[in-house]
Structure 1
Amino acid sequence: MTRTPPADGAAPRIAVINYGRTLDYPAMFPECADRLHVFSHHDLARTEGLAHYEYVPQCEAVPYAELMIREMAREQPFTHVITDNEYDLERAAHIRQDLGLPGQSRASALSFRDKAVMKQTASRTVPVPGFARLADFTDLTDFIAKFGHPVVVKPVKQGGSRDITVLREESDVVAFSRQPWRDDLMAEEFVEGPMYHVDAVLGEDYRFVASSRYLRSCLGVFSGQNNGSVQLRPDSPFARRLEAYLDRVLAAFDTPATSAYHLEVFHTPDDELVLCEIASRVGGDRIPALTALTYGVDLHATVLRRSCGLPVAPAPRTPPAQVHGSVSVLPQGRPVRAPGRPPFPWVRHYEVNDTLKPGEATLHSAHHLCFAIVSGEGPEQVEERLLETERWLMENLTDDEGVADSEKGH
């Protein structure tokens, strides 16, 4: 189904497939909220004044939003179809293509979503680890025979470090062979070294780039390590190197006129930058909050508004006075109570996850019992303060005896 797009300069009429739990579309689009049609994974608190709003349970897995957007377009054309969710990039692109609308193409969305396609594409301009799509278990054993241990096995379209397995020795391979096989896997060489992330919004007349280092490996959450990240100063030589690296990676891709990007890259002991992954969306976890505190940039509002041709404040040009970092305490797998706010003046924000079920275990890299954001003059001071905050939080966790006793009673 192809529809004639609205004429240039037409008042925006926007279809949104939303994922963010806290996004405020009336505030983000004040001049055209009454022309926004929002289908949301989560029930949003602020929806007044929207042209249409529906909370769609299991929205990621059901095609209802796609059907309704297409049906609405029969009555009155949309000017834009947008999403804040990585898992919706391909279907949003499909709708845009069918309706003749601007934005990321299906081929571009696939190249950022499918990790095997991503690695193949990026390898045109930057080094990537050895990798292979796995049709069956023999492909995995052949890959190990070629590259040796350790090997990373992961789904090609998953996120948040979900369902990733590191096979460090032959016993791990044997254990993995006892798990049900799935047909969406790839294998990848294990890369040594800390991981950095680069978060950007890039457009024809807009450029914002910020670089950070993960406090620990994202995979560490599955062995009980708390996670977080530390912002680099944007005027530091290594931050400039990472920004140039982002440009090299993107040179290999078909990129939309405006997009957000979340790049993860290893810095090896040999001082080489090796691609982990790149996504064409805003980074998750605490990245938007850290970016807003340091730079005053709302990543979600910026990319969604620019994608619809709407104005945003200019990207900051002067280095910030301070940078920030975050540390997230993992769910403990037992009923525990998070402490109150840490007693340090440089803690800028502290939040307890009140949606966590008692005794819940870690499910993905952004899962948390509580998290804190701290400020500092540079990454060294921020990391020192994060570790001090983490120690205080861990020492002040308490067993939630009321919940534990209640569970025993059942």
Structure 2
Amino acid sequence: MIPIDKDVLGMEDPKQVVVLGSSPGLCDRLRLAGADITLVEAPERFDKALASFVKRSVLTEYDDPSLIPLLRGIHGHTPFTAVISLTEQGLMPAARIAETLGIRGLSQDVVARTRDKFAMRTWLRDKGFSSVPCAVVRDVAGIQGFAARHGFPVIVKPRHGQGSQNVSCFRTADEVVLPPASTDDYIAEPFHLGPEFSVEAFSCAGEHHVLAITGKFTHEDDPANPFVEVGHVVPADIAPEVVDAITEYVVEFLDVMGIADGCSHTELRMTSAGPEVIETHTRVGGDSIPVLVRQATGHDLLDLTVQWALDRIGPPRTTPSAHGAAAIRFFTPPQGWVVGVAGVQRWQGLPGVLQLNLPVKVGDRIHPVQNSRTRVGYVLATAPTPARAIEICRKVTSGVRIDVSPEPPRGRR
């Protein structure tokens, strides 16, 4: 563990906040709000650009047993106000720090049942909120046994997974195969038919405010990885009655789960019987969803997180006037070696294109899109309507040409 301390001048009694995980947007907002930041990050993930934002860096893993004693020592001298993490692996350590030091943060019990998909299903069943069956499975026989009791199709996914990694859907007994080896357990549950959405909400002292409903696009043309998300749009292009049904469902869900404070990102499907939750997270959504929400609604999820952490506001009482819509689409070129890229500059200045990020270059290798981390770039667009924002993204992703070859360039063999 390497503590690096730095004085911050020109402040009178700034509030002290612990942040787990490098997050430039969060640190920038905390600094603007007048807070001093103690950043906890693994040495190999530390973003040196954050050095000018933070008072102190603690370079260690989030689960380092010496971390809490170190923070307790600092807390005794300059008391912390809150602890925040926007990274999935930092949520439970942050909750542990909050409860140990008695500062503002999330409950360990709540975070535990959101991080563990089996625990979430068990909790919802015990509370009478949802009767969806779920079981831990360790082999083909376990998956087939679950299907024999509850029917096909069956979803099998890591118990603590994220980013659509190692998610499989089996529609018949003959399709069932052993999932990839993993240190995590796998769970099985029924596959729910219907369009998928995520709900971006903010809560304070048990009061919930749904800020946006996000429409999802998945890699359905790839039968091997059909659940990888390749695009989002805010707001989802759905009827008002569907908005009302999802909003009512998620508010009740958050109550049942005990999620009383902070941002949440809840994924669900709208089935023929109504909304059914897939999973939830006590953080903002990934894939630039906070940017989409800000562009489309005017709500800034990171601002709200900071203001809640500093005990300055509760949930927003009014909804800003809708700014329109925003969408993101990821590039999904075929696998192979990149031999040419064209069109990025052509589309960079297209009206409505807010960001166009395509870091691939000649000589790079494109891997199959198996999860969120294997996508290669994206375009983010704004427009008056969801349909128009989606169309701008489609025009750009189809207009940029990424030429690939099955063989590596010379010197790469």
Same fold at TM > 0.5: yes
Provide the C-alpha distance between the structure 1 equivalents of 2:371 and 2:46, rounded to a whole number of angstroms.
18
Offset of residue 189 of structure 1: 0.8
Aligned to 2:231: 228
Question: What secondary structure sits across from 2:335 in the alignment?
Answer: coil
Aligned to 2:353: 347
1:165–1:43 Cα change, 3 Å: same
Aligned to 1:211: 213
Cα deviation code 1:153-208 (max 9, x no counterpart): 112111111122222333432x317x547552211111112101111122247835
Equivalent of residue 109 in structure 1, options 108, 111, 118:
111
Provide the C-alpha distance between the structure 2 equivalents of 1:44 and 1:356, rounded to a whole number of angstroms.
28
Asked if 1 retains the 8 angstrom alpha-carbon contact of 2:204 and 2:315, the reply is: no
1:271–1:383 Cα change, 3 Å: farther
Equivalent of residue 276 in structure 1, options 272, 275, 278:
278
Aligned to 2:166: 163
1:75–1:286 Cα change, 3 Å: same
Asked if 2 retains the 8 angstrom alpha-carbon contact of 1:285 and 1:366, the reply is: no
Cα deviation code 1:332-356 (max 9, x no counterpart): 4322255405264232321123699
Q: Is there any run of 5+ residues in structure 1 with no aligned partner, and where?
A: 1-9
Provide the C-alpha distance between the structure 1 equivalents of 2:405 and 2:219, rounded to a whole number of angstroms.
29
Asked if 2 retains the 8 angstrom alpha-carbon contact of 1:356 and 1:369, the reply is: no
Verify: 1:397 aligned to 2:402, yes or no. Answer: yes
1:222–1:315 Cα change, 3 Å: farther
1:74-85 alignment, distance < 5 Å: 74-85=76-87
Aligned to 1:195: 196
Asked if 2 retains the 8 angstrom alpha-carbon contact of 1:323 and 1:375, the reply is: yes
Aligned to 2:71: 69
Cα deviation code 1:256-276 (max 9, x no counterpart): 3x21111111112x2521111
Equivalent of residue 297 in structure 1, options 296, 299, 305:
299
Aligned to 2:246: 242
1:321–1:97 Cα change, 3 Å: closer
Provide the C-alpha distance between the structure 1 equivalents of 2:363 and 2:65, rounded to a whole number of angstroms.
29
Asked if 2 retains the 8 angstrom alpha-carbon contact of 1:332 and 1:359, the reply is: no
Aligned to 2:9: none
Provide the C-alpha distance between the structure 2 equivalents of 1:44 and 1:228, rounded to a whole number of angstroms.
30
Aligned to 1:7: none
Q: Is there any run of 5+ residues in structure 2 with no aligned partner, and where?
A: 1-12
1:206–1:184 Cα change, 3 Å: closer
Question: What secondary structure sits across from 1:335 in the alignment?
Answer: strand
Provide the C-alpha distance between the structure 1 equivalents of 2:192 and 2:220, rounded to a whole number of angstroms.
13
Cα deviation code 1:265-320 (max 9, x no counterpart): 1112x252111111111000120121222233332232133123145995762441
Provide the C-alpha distance between the structure 2 equivalents of 1:357 and 1:152, rounded to a whole number of angstroms.
37
Provide the C-alpha distance between the structure 2 equivalents of 1:317 and 1:279, rounded to a whole number of angstroms.
23
Provide the C-alpha distance between the structure 2 equivalents of 1:357 and 1:316, rounded to a whole number of angstroms.
51
Number of equivalent positions: 389
1:88–1:380 Cα change, 3 Å: same
1:29–1:400 Cα change, 3 Å: farther
Q: AA paired with 2:55?
A: A
Aligned to 1:89: 91
Provide the C-alpha distance between the structure 1 equivalents of 2:211 and 2:323, rounded to a whole number of angstroms.
17
Question: What secondary structure sits across from 2:336 in the alignment?
Answer: coil
Aligned to 1:141: 144
Provide the C-alpha distance between the structure 1 equivalents of 2:273 and 2:382, rounded to a whole number of angstroms.
28
Cα deviation code 1:10-64 (max 9, x no counterpart): 85222111243x435144333434x3211134415233152202454xx357556
Asked if 2 retains the 8 angstrom alpha-carbon contact of 1:218 and 1:227, the reply is: no
Aligned to 1:119: 121
Q: AA paired with 1:53?
A: S
Q: AA paired with 1:48?
A: S
Offset of residue 113 of structure 1: 1.0
Equivalent of residue 47 in structure 2, options 40, 43, 46:
43
Offset of residue 117 of structure 1: 1.3
More strand by share: 2
Offset of residue 330 of structure 1: 2.8
1:183–1:262 Cα change, 3 Å: closer
Aligned to 1:151: 154
Equivalent of residue 286 in structure 1, options 275, 285, 288:
288
Two-structure CA RMSD over aligned residues (Å) = 3.4
Identical-residue share of aligned pairs (%): 19
Aligned to 2:364: 358
Provide the C-alpha distance between the structure 1 equivalents of 2:268 and 2:85, rounded to a whole number of angstroms.
25
Provide the C-alpha distance between the structure 1 equivalents of 2:124 and 2:247, rounded to a whole number of angstroms.
16
TM-score, normalised by the number of residues in structure 1: 0.82
Verify: 1:53 aligned to 2:68, yes or no. Answer: no
Q: AA paired with 1:45?
A: A
Question: What secondary structure sits across from 1:275 in the alignment?
Answer: strand
1:299–1:315 Cα change, 3 Å: farther
Offset of residue 81 of structure 1: 1.9
Aligned to 1:5: none
Moved over 6 A (4+): 400-403
Question: What secondary structure sits across from 2:242 in the alignment?
Answer: helix
